[in-house]
Structure 1
């Protein structure tokens, strides 16, 4: 930084520079004046205002490249909450934008009352600055000031190589907006499998509704799997999980019957997602994805994963999902069972071991050979061997252990084997704590308990535990599949339940493990 540059550090670069915004609020009354936010006048009112829309924005052309040191934003003194979900984006060409700052929604900021938002520019290089909301709302501010120093460099050091006419076209282009206004009216959460993915879908759909400003609906079809009991997750089981059938305490989410749902011309997220990038628990949406999403009048949210729209940070969506989880309106019977468990645990941190057996063993014993071959990957991914569970408990570093399993025999075997090595552990077997609950309520109880754990010890592909991690405060213990013990215990089940074509079933176990488990270890097993 040279002396010539230093003299510019206190100059408001935004003053009287070209501006643009995404839409105009009441132009017949207020005119079109995005310039009102950089005219040097601060009065606590709005210098510009957009319509209420999805992700409204205001942007400014500094007419030169600068290393930005500070951005100061003066809010309107009334309705200040509307601007709290604010992102600041920077660009060198008005086409490619990078996130500079994302304001936490709880961080309300003011204006001429002495509490403007002051953001460190971190000396980042930019010519264009865009302020954009993350939500469906009116966007208005009083004044924006930007400070920095001119950037002097060879042309090779700058990203854009367009001429001024092209840059101006970029700046005033509406390319960053949907080509058509959003028409989405309804998002319908719908899954036909287990409780974990169903609830993930409900939470994720609620976030999408908040983002797009539309209504949340929920369907609750009977589970479609021949491996589950006919007593679990039937269409009427929603009233067993949620008190009075009301899913959330803080909002009314209408429950659609199958007949009502069948009359809607919906588009499913599972079909729409083909172009989406997925990372972890999220679909990463670019601006084109957002437009495609918004053009579905009725969307069936049949995926468990949440959307992460352009300009939104992971932690912001996680925070919302966890807030929604706390608002779930659990059935009184489940709540009372949770309270009884909490009295026993006395507020101590605990780990959960999740052992799944019923449907896995049914597949192993009763699938025809062709179907079993297809199901082997799912069986391996969801099967946590007892020997592995014992080892994980002994190494976990916590003395209070909750065993979640529909198989009480497996839980008792684990307790017995751990006690052979150490008597320091306190065990809580959920099947013994939930005898007054229905099967659906027991599964829900286990999920709530898991969500509040310090750590979850489970199989590598457990969607049940993924829901607990996604919505609660738990962390899944990452462990590689213990192929040796998986093989030994599955073969032991087959030997103890002599069934049709037992030898062929055992051969399939070995054959499929050999695809994942290399020759040396396989020889040890056999």
Structure 2
């Protein structure tokens, strides 16, 4: 037992100078029951002898002596943003510093948002490039441009994007290369960035002398950036064709969600699009609206006009994935709406009429109110308006809406597939098919719904209707 003199020395011990009670409480979980002066008393009477740290400075000095110093340019906030798997593991800022020293460095974790490296050139002095390409809808094109740009910046390549018309008979000559000025300001993609502003290519014919690496997610997805840079040393072009981060290091080494939004803000839009967006946002409170993206016109056209063989070979499944029944739309709005106005982005005027009858004419407005826009411009404007809304309600599968959600701040609500409602409305549309295809198409609607259903009783009912209609078609 300590004498009174010994105890007096403890409570005047100069080694307690600089004691940080808050740190002491945070770091030593076994002292959770202590508070205030009790923590200092514990350190003086027991902590010093036990070798406990009195403040962050002592802890860091110990860890740096063991594992190496914290880099002078260590950026704690970037470390948290880039390394999302640990961003919510710690409550106190100093814990991230300690984590990097103890584990992060040896694990190869990045601590600075330094995406760009110096420009890379081939042996002929030509800038190496990432070529982005998609031949389908505008949402996938925009996202592919953005993710290809992220990769290009991370490996020191220049971005070029091959812009070709859409490859589908149900989209009337959309995205023709000679109409690129309808959407973009010029042949450069971005409004800033010097030589890295990007460039559109309007010919799909590539120089046969180019050494091209086509990215395969299965082969390259797990490579780190250093290994990938070594791989592309022997190539002039990396071909990028996906509307997402194909290589894991793209999302591991940066706050990719923020980077997607930053790149989107830097796209150089045509004056026509910029003017329309400015006017619309100045007269409509888009930021407090519920935006509805409903695909109807192209889906109905596909159902009515497509060959039965096309519908059998996956076409009808695509229709179910992209078609949204009006009943499902109204139910989704009812679940989230308080008093917000409703912005409708749809080529089907009937959608606006139906929603206006239910929610009031003054509460519903359409992005199609003006008629002096091209189809390409309407598509781009719809994505921009959807991205600025408070809430975005969309078909269950839609890269158009996914793009709007990724580049904006809206809450995205994909409508789950409601088979009974979708079947009911698709059958009503198929009833209007004028030729002998109607029975075949309706039978395929039911048979496809049966294949998509996870409910045994519902599946049996759909199959029964399909078989009845198939028999009727065979006998007619």
Kindly tell me: are residues 254 and 522 of structure 1, through their superposed partners in 2, closer, same or farther at Cα, counting changes over 3 Å?
A: same
2:406 and 2:366 map into 1 onto residues whose CA distance is 23
- Residue 290 of structure 1 is matched in structure 2 by 228
Q: For residues 4-37 of structure 1, what are the alpha-carbon distances to aligned partners after superposition, in whole Å with 9 as ceiling and x for unaligned?
A: 543784744545x7xxxxxxxxxxxxxxxxxxxx
- Residue 367 of structure 2 is matched in structure 1 by 430
2:86 and 2:336 map into 1 onto residues whose CA distance is 40
Kindly tell me: are residues 257 and 119 of structure 1, through their superposed partners in 2, closer, same or farther at Cα, counting changes over 3 Å?
A: same
1:249 and 1:306 map into 2 onto residues whose CA distance is 23
SS state at 1:192 partner: coil
Question: How far 1:256 moved relative to its partner?
Answer: 2.2
State which of 489, 496, 508 in structure 1 corresponds to 2:425: 489
Kindly tell me: are residues 237 and 306 of structure 1, through their superposed partners in 2, closer, same or farther at Cα, counting changes over 3 Å?
A: farther
Question: How far 1:72 moved relative to its partner?
Answer: 4.0
Does structure 1 residue 227 correspond to structure 2 residue 163? no
1:488 and 1:216 map into 2 onto residues whose CA distance is 46
Question: How far 1:118 moved relative to its partner?
Answer: 8.7
2:430 and 2:236 map into 1 onto residues whose CA distance is 51
SS state at 1:243 partner: coil
State which of 186, 189, 201 in structure 2 corresponds to 1:256: 201
Question: How far 1:464 moved relative to its partner?
Answer: 0.4
State which of 257, 266, 273 in structure 1 corresponds to 2:217: 273
Equivalences for residues 270-349 of structure 1 within 5 A: 272-275=216-219, 286=224, 290=228, 294-295=232-233, 296-307=235-246, 309-310=248-249, 312-313=251-252, 316-346=255-285, 348-349=287-288
In the alignment, structure 2 segments of 5+ residues that lack a partner are: 1-27, 29-46, 89-93, 119-125, 466-476
Kindly tell me: are residues 289 and 304 of structure 1, through their superposed partners in 2, closer, same or farther at Cα, counting changes over 3 Å?
A: farther
Kindly tell me: are residues 350 and 435 of structure 1, through their superposed partners in 2, closer, same or farther at Cα, counting changes over 3 Å?
A: same
1:465 and 1:388 map into 2 onto residues whose CA distance is 17
8 Å CA contact retained: 2:129, 2:158: yes
Task: Give the paired residue count.
Answer: 392
1:130 and 1:122 map into 2 onto residues whose CA distance is 11
TM-score, normalised by the number of residues in structure 2: 0.72
2:275 and 2:188 map into 1 onto residues whose CA distance is 18
8 Å CA contact retained: 1:72, 1:119: no
Q: For residues 190-209 of structure 1, what are the alpha-carbon distances to aligned partners after superposition, in whole Å with 9 as ceiling and x for unaligned?
A: 11111110010001111101
Kindly tell me: are residues 389 and 249 of structure 1, through their superposed partners in 2, closer, same or farther at Cα, counting changes over 3 Å?
A: same
8 Å CA contact retained: 2:223, 2:248: yes
Kindly tell me: are residues 455 and 13 of structure 1, through their superposed partners in 2, closer, same or farther at Cα, counting changes over 3 Å?
A: closer
Higher strand share: 1
SS state at 2:255 partner: helix
Q: For residues 347-399 of structure 1, what are the alpha-carbon distances to aligned partners after superposition, in whole Å with 9 as ceiling and x for unaligned?
A: 65111111112322222122222210121211111001112112222222242
8 Å CA contact retained: 1:208, 1:307: no
1:6 and 1:225 map into 2 onto residues whose CA distance is 70
- Residue 404 of structure 1 is matched in structure 2 by 345
Q: For residues 321-341 of structure 1, what are the alpha-carbon distances to aligned partners after superposition, in whole Å with 9 as ceiling and x for unaligned?
A: 100111111111111111221
2:142 and 2:81 map into 1 onto residues whose CA distance is 33
Higher helix share: 2
Query: Bigger radius of gyration, 1 or 2?
Result: 2
Kindly tell me: are residues 386 and 253 of structure 1, through their superposed partners in 2, closer, same or farther at Cα, counting changes over 3 Å?
A: same
Question: How far 1:127 moved relative to its partner?
Answer: 11
- Residue 449 of structure 1 is matched in structure 2 by 385
In the alignment, structure 1 segments of 5+ residues that lack a partner are: 18-59, 63-70, 90-96, 103-116, 140-182, 278-283
2:201 and 2:117 map into 1 onto residues whose CA distance is 31
8 Å CA contact retained: 1:204, 1:321: yes
Equivalences for residues 10-159 of structure 1 within 5 A: 11-15=61-65, 72-75=70-73, 119-121=96-98, 129=106, 133=110, 135=114
Does structure 1 residue 461 correspond to structure 2 residue 407? no
- Residue 394 of structure 1 is matched in structure 2 by 334
State which of 414, 438, 443 in structure 2 corresponds to 1:502: 438
- Residue 52 of structure 2 is matched in structure 1 by 6
Q: Which moved more, 1:474-483 or 1:489-498?
A: 474-483
- Residue 202 of structure 1 is matched in structure 2 by 145
1:222 and 1:355 map into 2 onto residues whose CA distance is 23
2:275 and 2:84 map into 1 onto residues whose CA distance is 49
CA RMSD of aligned residues (A): 3.8
2:188 and 2:117 map into 1 onto residues whose CA distance is 31
8 Å CA contact retained: 1:268, 1:301: yes
8 Å CA contact retained: 2:293, 2:345: yes
8 Å CA contact retained: 1:451, 1:469: yes
Kindly tell me: are residues 343 and 87 of structure 1, through their superposed partners in 2, closer, same or farther at Cα, counting changes over 3 Å?
A: closer
- Residue 157 of structure 1 is matched in structure 2 by none
State which of 156, 162, 168 in structure 2 corresponds to 1:213: 156
